[in-house]
Chains A and B, each alone.
Chain A
Amino acid sequence: MLSDTETKLLGVMMMVIMLGMGASLTFKDFAIALRKPLGIFVGLLCQYGIMPLLAFLLAKALALPPAYAIGLILMGCMPGGTTSNIFTYFSKGTLSLSILMTMSSTLVAILMVPLTLAFYSSGIEGQWQIPRENVIQVLVLLLVPTVIGIALRKWNANVGAVIEMIGGLLGVLVILFLVGSWVPRNWQLLLATGLPVYAGSIGLGLAGFSLGYLLSRALKQDERRARTIALETGIQNGPLAVLIVLLSFSGTQQQEVLLIPVLYSLFIVLSSSAVTVWFRRITQREELARDTAKIGALARA
């Protein structure tokens, strides 16, 4: 459980993160992306097609009780996390695509999150349902800083770029903050938590990476873009889910629902780091192979 102050702090940090995300793109970037909508379409399909379904199926397969199931489904319905951009950068992926996917999934979140959430959680008992107004309220609240971010970028590129960077770093810090403030107080809970919850929390991200990759390859995206989409798909906006849970539940109920979003946020940082190192190696090998092919052509000459 988090205190009131911590919840407020989390809200403020989320706003800064969204400000940073907004500052990472210009209106022109959007306009250009919309000219070739396939990339955005693939992204949205992964984000709101694959992930919620995956979360739903995982919850079913692992026979999670409703408190955990709603946590997992909520996690699956979230838009892309801003940390995906950092991981994409480190993994030498296509940064512009990653930013664009995060941004577009966040912008349509107002529509898509309530829809998918209602659909996949319809079988869950009423007391565990997340009120639609809460979801919409949080999302609207976060859209404001996003739009301000875009405007700041346009107003002054230096301010925009600095905010973008602060937002990105804060994205990682928030997760560390969540984990740091939550884990010590709940270690007993962690010990008592069964394997299925862990499997769901970790599996959502890992399966998201794999399916995102496969789907984008099937839709004829090249390997580098597919790796970018994979990261983007697997990495959800964890802190956003935490915020929604905090606003929707209280007491022990809150604590229970919160478990999976927090665990997901913790493990996604670890699994993304591993995947990033792996992708980075692949990209470097590809680059090296291309260079060698060129040098080889010269050497043969």
Chain B
Amino acid sequence: MAVTATDTHRAIDAVWRIESARIIAGLARIVRDVGLAEELAQDALVAALRQWPESGIPDNPGAWLMATAKHRAIDVFRRNKRLERKHEELGRELQAQQEMAVPDFNAALDDGIGDDLLRLVFVSCHPVLSTEARVALTLRLLGGLSTQEIARAFLVPESTVAQRIVRAKRTLSEARVPFEVPRGPDLAPRLSSVLEVIYLIFNEGYSATAGEDWMRPALCEDALRLGRILAELAPDEPEVHGLVALMEIQASRSGARVGPSGEPILLLEQNRARWDQLLIHRGLGALQRAEELGGALGPYALQAAIAACHARARIASETDWRRIASLYDALAQVMPSPIVELNRAVALAMAFGPAAGLEHLDTLASEPSLQAYHLLPSVRGDFLSKLGRFAEAQAEFERAAALTRNARERELLLDRARACAAVPPPGPQ
């Protein structure tokens, strides 16, 4: 079969996806500027797109791209006499590399490539950048996504993403953010910024429902991949494994959480045969690694442990709700939030009966952030109806229906309110 230019372009895309992060990371170590490194790598990509359709794809495409990008770097430095010293350094490195046999390229690059990638992760998620900028830059530099792909994933114009990336690179350069892995007291907050970015990418994909645009579920895969990379780069950080575990287990339910006409299916009603056992297996493995590293579990590992309780139950009625309730208790301590408390009330009700749930829920009644949150009256209505207090339950379901913005959910809540109203009030038989 003849290899056409289109085939070659598609093959180049594939090579780029595999190699780009390592190339950008390796270049950033040399030029000490992530923005410049990314531009040099792009130049090499453009050169490949021009040359490979005619010359064919080289035996070691990654090495070719890296060598080409380093040549570009030398050109840039030549024009920039002030950086003479770096130029020499780079020349030596390039010469040394050319002397090596090509197949040894990976071995040479491996030396510290993991460190380079880890530095790239931390720089892309640096707190000087806005959250949107961190997300765009991380997907671009580490995920190998094009600006167009990122724009499609987040349903924003391509020019917006392009601008975000340009500004982010400028900000990093102006702030003289060093290309390094933070140490000491800086590490924990910087790592949590990285985890936040990855989980945000995941949720952006996970909250998308079925439709013609399947690019958003692909975002879950990108986030999972980034998480798995991070777990290999920073294997001693329990929260990294915790995040990976949480994402793997949540992603395992993707095929079960949307009905045939796009309607969401709640966890307890999902067909568990449709859960992806491979991802569950990976998730439980990652959670085990987080636990084995010792110490108290962090917020991601705790959420993963809760997700694992559901994953381990073959049918919904086998769920270990006592364990889930105690995990929410632990989660509330490391990550206090009214939403966590609300979930804890649900777990308590499932474990110990609706009265226990209601008791906990009523401690949240005055919580200001929950005043307009439809799930509070909705959950309260559920507990009350299970306790046979139908008149009160009806009022709660009606209140919840008035608060929700989702039409489908409103219909469901009004149905439940009507069902409560249909129950005759208790009286003498």
Are A and B associated in one complex? Answer: no
Interface residues, chain A, with chain B CB atoms under 8 Å away: none
